[in-house]
Amino acid sequence: MSAHAMESDSRPQRRGDGRHSYWSPRFWLLPLLVLLLLGGAGTALYIGGLGSPGDHLKHFPLAVVNQDRGATPADGGSPENLGQNITDQMQQGFAQNDEIDLRVLSWDDAQEQLRKGQIHGAVVIPESFSADALGLVSGALTDTEVTRPSITVYSNPLAGPLASSLATSAVDPALEQANTGLGEQLTSAAEEAQTEARAEQQRELGELGLPAEVQQQVAPTVDGTSTDLLRAPISLITTAYETPPEGSALGMGAFFYSVLLMVVGVSGSVAIHFLVDSRLGVAPVEMGPRFSLGPRVQPARWKTYLIKWGIVVLGALPTAGFMMWVASAVGMPIPHGGWFFLTTWLSIVTVSAVTTALITLFGSIGMVLSLIYVVFMGLPAATGVVPLEALPGFFTFIARGEPLYHMTMANRAVLYFDAEGDAGLQSGIIGMLILILIAVAVAMIFAVLYDRKFGRRQAELAGSPGGQP
Q: For residue range 15-46, what is the model confidence (pLDDT) as tens digits? A: 555 556 667 777 788 888 888 988 998 888 88
Q: For residue range 318-370, what is the model confidence (pLDDT) as tens digits? A: 999 999 999 999 999 999 999 999 999 999 999 999 999 999 999 989 999 99
**Residue 241 in contact with residue 168, Cβ under 8 Å?**
no
Give percent above pLDDT 70 in the chain.
83
The whole-number pLDDT of residue 18 equals 52
For residues 285 and 276, give the distance between their C-alpha atoms in angstroms, rounded to a whole number: 9
pLDDT at 468 over 60: no
Phi (first) and psi of residue 121, to 5 degrees:
-175, 160
Q: Which residue has the higher pLDDT, 161 or 331?
A: 331
User: Domain extents for the chain?
Assistant: 53-240, 247-462
> What letter does residue 13 receive in the DSSP assignment?
P
Q: Which CATH class is domain 53-240?
A: alpha beta
Which residues fall within 8 angstroms of residue 464, CB to CB, at 6 or more apart?
none
Pairing label, strands 150-155, 121-125: antiparallel
> What letter does residue 40 receive in the DSSP assignment?
H
The whole-number pLDDT of residue 91 equals 94
**Residue 140 in contact with residue 186, Cβ under 8 Å?**
no
Task: Give 251-270 as a DSSP string.
Answer: GTHHHHHHHHHHHHHHHHHH
Count the neighbouring beta carbons within 10 Å of the beta carbon of residue 416. Answer: 27
The whole-number pLDDT of residue 16 equals 53
The whole-number pLDDT of residue 426 equals 97
Environment class of 11 (CB within 10 Å of its CB; exposed 0-12, middle 13-18, buried 19+): exposed
Measured CA distances, 268 to 1, 300, 349, 401, 465 (Å) = 27, 22, 10, 21, 35
The whole-number pLDDT of residue 258 equals 96
